[in-house]
Amino acid sequence: MTTAPAQAGWRFRQPSVIPGFGLTLGFSLAYLTLIILIPLSGLIWRSAALGWPEFWAIATDRRTINALEISFGTAFIAAAVNVVFGTLVAWVLVRYRFPGRRIVDAMVDLPFALPTAVAGIALTTLYAPNGWIGKLLMPLGIKVAYTPLGIVIALIFIGLPFVVRTVQPIMEEIDKEVEEAAATLGASRFQIITRILFPGLAPAITTGFSLAFARGVGEYGSVIFIAGNLPYKSEIAPLLIVIRLEEYNYPAATAIAAIMLFLSFLMLLIVNLAQSWSRKRYG
Amino acid sequence: MADPEIKSYEQHHESRSPAVTESRPAQAVLMAIVFAFLGIFLLLPLIIVFHEALAKGVSAYTQSLSDADTRSAIRLTLLVAAISVPLNIVFGISAAWAIAKFEFKGKAFLTTLIDLPFSVSPVISGLVYVLLFGAQGLLGGWLKAHGIVILFAVPGIVLATVFVTFPFVARELIPLMQEQGNGDEEAALSLGANGWQTFWYVTLPNVKWGLLYGVLLCNARAMGEFGAVSVVSGHIRGLTNTMPLHVEILYNEYNAVGAFAVASLLAGLALVTLVLKTLLEMRYGAEIAATRGH
């Protein structure tokens, strides 16, 4: 660590003997601006240029609203399912010892590594009415492929590692002595889990939920194969953007994208607030 | 389980009193639920890829892989990764050097900006380039007048891929280099090394496993990206179709063996990535920042 001498006034950077600050920061900023910032501000500029009446007409179009509802709704359900099972997976990986644990642990990252299109066609084949799983669900009257339920299944696949990998490291850090102390004081296992373990994990679970949710809202590749893509029923917002682009309806594509970005950032804000609340409540 | 040594280790490691862990039956139930869940959601999709690819025998499999359009999709995917991954390596190293080695105003904000592509839908990542370079785009007219083709061609695909894989190397290197501090570099400089030598002989060897880890994840995403590339590619067979896009085309043509044959190559890439990643975590866990989470 560099020890900064007592300095007067504002200074952009603290002095250091290490060279290359200008070069690396300059290059990084230029690259970031060219690849990310200019294209993204182009999107915002284009949607602002639409004017309020046109923007409002696109935003309140029944098909747009339905697509947004489907994207956010299915992503929410999938993230909620992943919170339950992802936390359970993390618990088993952290606390239990069994042969092949290392392999199971590595497998959890499969959705990160497997291209989404591959996941999409694989899940569709599994859950199609004549597929391995679809065949079993058919007699029960459950249709998965080509329905919103299919979207949820794809998003559970995509989101699982986000929850596991956020919760797992926090679980590993839990000091067992606290549990032991509670046990010697007569707490039941259930009390220990709900009163001691859960509060410590709540912030990580919230983060995992929001990461899985955010990823699910924007997900495209794995969903479009299994969704059936019926307008108003199983059409996700990213697909509607693609459809509008293919119709050369740039204003609609831009407006829907801007709404998605806005809602995602709003959600991030809410999650951050929820997190600081849970830190105050449990921390 | 009968081995007393293992048992005593387990007891010591797992629990001293039954109240600090679940009862044996409860453990068995939890593990059964987890295995069933992972089996259905992770293992089955992986198995079905290879099952469907080989459904009509090995010869049908190899035949669909030797198709000319498939070959060109493989070549394009390799080309796009070969351009975009090195670009993001250079950026990742440069950003990590600036952010980890120096204290300056706005550092936290810059770090947040680097993660931005992760919170943008892949479709939007493609869309922003269409809005910029498309026929109705901001630069569309100028590009056309100068005969420069970006959209529905390789440059557009590379740009979209660079966008979605942008944070991988940087976010791996930044925490790692921050943790390692500046001591080694300051020592090298005081012994007379110049900046470049310091980086090449001191910093790079210190972060090489972390860098490799970031590159691995970056490459997997670059080769597998679908949404962003789909928007900018134009889907021209044999010309602008990457492997994931080719999977979609074959699948929509009801050519299941063809689609899953290409998919099996991508699934193989994913498996190799996972194996290498796990090996890196096992052998060099301390030298990889990301082992704390993604």
Of A98, A115, A248, the CB nearest to B266: A115
Chains A, B: CB pairs < 8 Å: 304
What angle do the packed helices A116-127 and B256-284 form, to 10 degrees?
120
Task: State how far the Cα of A191 lies from the Cα of B282, in Å rounded to an integer.
Answer: 35
Is the CB of A17 inside 8 Å of chain B's CB atoms? yes
What pLDDT does A83 receive? 97
pLDDT tens per residue across span A118-160: 999 999 999 999 999 999 999 999 999 999 999 999 999 999 9
Is the CB of A102 inside 8 Å of chain B's CB atoms? yes
Q: Report yes or no on A188 lying in a domain.
A: no
Q: Which residues contact B2 (CB under 8 A, 6 or more apart)?
A: none
What pLDDT does A232 receive? 92
Residue A208 has pLDDT above 50, yes or no: yes
DSSP assignment string, B57-121: -HHHHHHHHT-HHHHHHHHHHHHHHHHHHHHHHHHHHHHHHHHHH--BTTHHHHHHHHHGGGGS-
Is the CB of B166 inside 8 Å of chain A's CB atoms? yes
Of A148, A154, A116, A152, nearest to A228 by C-alpha is A148
User: What integer best gives the mean pLDDT of chain A?
Assistant: 91
What pLDDT does B291 receive? 56
Choose, out of B123, B241, B245, the residue to mutate when testing the contact with A (most A CBs < 10 Å): B123
pLDDT tens per residue across span B125-152: 999 999 999 888 888 889 989 999 999 9
Q: What percent of chain A has pLDDT over 90?
A: 72
ipTM: 0.90
Is the CB of B226 inside 8 Å of chain A's CB atoms? yes
Q: Which residues of A touch B271 (CB under 8 A)?
A: 113
Of A168, A171, A154, A172, nearest to A79 by C-alpha is A154
Q: Which residues of A touch B16 (CB under 8 A)?
A: 180
Find the mean pLDDT for residues A93-117.
94
What pLDDT does A75 receive? 97
Residue B59 has pLDDT above 80, yes or no: yes
What pLDDT does B294 receive? 41
Of A43, A104, A109, the CB nearest to B127: A43
Higher-confidence residue of A275 and B110: namely: B110
Task: State how far the Cα of A106 lies from the Cα of A120, in Å rounded to an integer.
Answer: 21
Of A1, A91, A242, the CB nearest to B123: A242
Of A74, A227, A77, A73, nearest to A147 by C-alpha is A227
pLDDT tens per residue across span B239-270: 899 999 999 999 999 999 999 999 999 999 99
Q: Report yes or no on A227 lying in a domain.
A: yes
Residue A96 has pLDDT above 80, yes or no: yes
What pLDDT does A276 receive? 77
Work out whether the CA dihedral B15, B20, B23, B27 comes out positive or negative. negative
Least reliable range by pLDDT among A2-16, A137-151, B81-95: A2-16
Q: Report yes or no on A163 lying in a domain.
A: yes
Residue A196 has pLDDT above 90, yes or no: no
What pLDDT does A77 receive? 98
What pLDDT does B177 receive? 94
Least reliable range by pLDDT among A162-176, B13-27, B167-181, B268-282: B13-27
Choose, out of A2, A7, A13, A28, the residue to mutate when testing the contact with B (most B CBs < 10 Å): A28
Tell me how close the Cα of B195 comes to any Cα of chain A, in angstroms: 6
Is the CB of A9 inside 8 Å of chain B's CB atoms? no
Task: State how far the Cα of A179 lies from the Cα of B294, in Å rounded to an integer.
Answer: 28
Q: Report yes or no on A10 lying in a domain.
A: no
- Verify whether the Cβ–Cβ distance A91 to B30 is below 8 Å: yes
Is the CB of A34 inside 8 Å of chain B's CB atoms? no
Find the mean pLDDT for residues B8-21.
52
Q: How many domains does chain A have?
A: 1
**Helix count and strand count (H, E) for chain B:** 16, 0
Query: pLDDT tier at A267 (50, 70, 90 boundaries)?
Result: confident
Is the CB of A191 inside 8 Å of chain B's CB atoms? no
Number of other residues whose CB lies within 10 A of the CB of residue A119: 31
Q: Report yes or no on A257 lying in a domain.
A: yes
Q: Report yes or no on A271 lying in a domain.
A: yes
Tell me how close the Cα of A281 comes to any Cα of chain B, in angstroms: 24
Q: Report yes or no on A156 lying in a domain.
A: yes
Whether the Cβ atoms of residue A283 and residue A206 lie closer than 8 Å to each other: no
Whether the Cβ atoms of residue B34 and residue A88 lie closer than 8 Å to each other: yes
Is the CB of A194 inside 8 Å of chain B's CB atoms? no
Query: pLDDT tier at B18 (50, 70, 90 boundaries)?
Result: low
Residue A21 has pLDDT above 70, yes or no: yes
What is the domain range of residue A116? 69-170+199-282
- Verify whether the Cβ–Cβ distance B10 to A97 is below 8 Å: yes
- Verify whether the Cβ–Cβ distance B294 to A161 is below 8 Å: yes
List the domains of chain B with CATH numbers.
1-53 (no CATH), 58-292 (1.10.3720.10)
Task: State how far the Cα of B129 lies from the Cα of B160, in Å rounded to an integer.
Answer: 7
- Verify whether the Cβ–Cβ distance B45 to A122 is below 8 Å: yes
Query: pLDDT tier at B7 (50, 70, 90 boundaries)?
Result: very low
Q: Report yes or no on A38 lying in a domain.
A: no
- CATH number, domain of A91, equals 1.10.3720.10
Higher-confidence residue of A55 and A275: namely: A55
Q: Which residues of A touch B181 (CB under 8 A)?
A: 1
Higher-confidence residue of A189 and A253: namely: A253
User: What integer best gives the mean pLDDT of chain B?
Assistant: 90
What pLDDT does B1 receive? 41
Is the CB of A229 inside 8 Å of chain B's CB atoms? no
